[in-house]
Amino acid sequence: MTDASNNDGEMPRCAQRGLDTVTLFEMPINTLTLSETLVAIGAHIDAGEQGYVVTPNVDHAVEFAKNEVFRQTYQDAAFVLADGVYILWAGKFFGKPIKEKISGSDLLYWLSEYAAEKGYSVFLLGAAEGVGATAGRVLEEKYPGLKVAGVYSPPMGFEKNPEENQKTIDLIRESGADICFTALGAPKQDLWNWRHHKETGAKICLGIGASLDFVAGRVKRAPVWMQRIGLEWTWRIMQEPVRMGKRYLIRDAYFLVLLWREWRRG
């Protein structure tokens, strides 16, 4: 295992239980296969621990470099799983191989299947009104035995309104869900999971971005071949030119600086 300590010499939580970890763009990243991930999350749930998952991609790397609070979400995450081919390619290039791409969108399916087998219940938080319920029905049909303990689409800005925020936490807690899929987009979902995962009572919270929209069929995900060759971002720009154009073409161009820094560190 490589040393994943941060600048203050503190070991990030995701590296503390003997899970293989590398440090890339200063982010600790677990280098697990999908089956190792499912077993590790299962063991975490069975042990009654509480924690959350973050899934680094280019967008996260840029946020990590610029946002000190976001960096803390990485320090405290129980699992950090590489969500982008660019992170995998960079790992390979800089001699820090990561075994598999495990994106939040894929993990929503895989973990739902695993949850159905193991009897864990799930909560679907976020996305527009009605999307979570549709996604829940799709997942329950696909994975017989899966228990969707609850779904909730909080109003925009709920996280800044103490009452709405508390209502959201209470709904998850009262549902008794073991796993909370948080679909609020990055970095909001990761900051929310970091701040509130303990209060929700869920054993594991996981940021999944637009995945509920994909499952419910509201938004079409990029074809697998595009994901494989790193072109998912072009697909998303075609779907939402203004918002995604700003994100991928302007904001994420900073990734080139991060590559340069990693090269110099290397």
Applying CB under 6 A, the residues found at the interface with ligand UDP are 126-128, 156, 183-186, 188, 209-210, 212-213
Give the whole-angstrom CA distance, residue 80 versus residue 69: 16
Which residue shows structure tokens 């939040």? 104
β-strand pairing of 121-126 with 179-183: parallel
201 is written with which tokens? 């009572």
Q: How far is the CB of 4 from ligand UDP (least distance, A)?
A: 24
Q: How far is the CB of 104 from ligand UDP (least distance, A)?
A: 7
Identify the bridge partners of residue 54 per DSSP, sorted by sequence position.
Answer: 80
CA angle (171 as vertex; 165, 177 as ends), nearest 5: 125
Q: How far is the CB of 212 from ligand UDP (least distance, A)?
A: 6
Q: How far is the CB of 215 from ligand UDP (least distance, A)?
A: 11
Residue partners of 91: CB distance under 8 A and separation at least 6: 22, 24, 29, 31, 82, 97, 98
Cβ distance to ligand UDP smaller for residue 5 or 161: 161
Cβ distance to ligand UDP smaller for residue 44 or 196: 196
In the bound state, the residue with its beta carbon closest to ligand UDP is 209
Cβ distance to ligand UDP smaller for residue 188 or 195: 188
Q: How far is the CB of 95 from ligand UDP (least distance, A)?
A: 29
Cβ distance to ligand UDP smaller for residue 51 or 104: 104
> What is the residue type of 8?
D
Residue partners of 178: CB distance under 8 A and separation at least 6: 45, 115, 120, 121, 122, 202, 203, 204
Cβ distance to ligand UDP smaller for residue 77 or 210: 210
Task: Give the CA diameter of the chain.
Answer: 51
Give the whole-angstrom CA distance, residue 93 versus residue 139: 37
Cβ distance to ligand UDP smaller for residue 11 or 237: 237
Which residue shows structure tokens 């590489």? 82
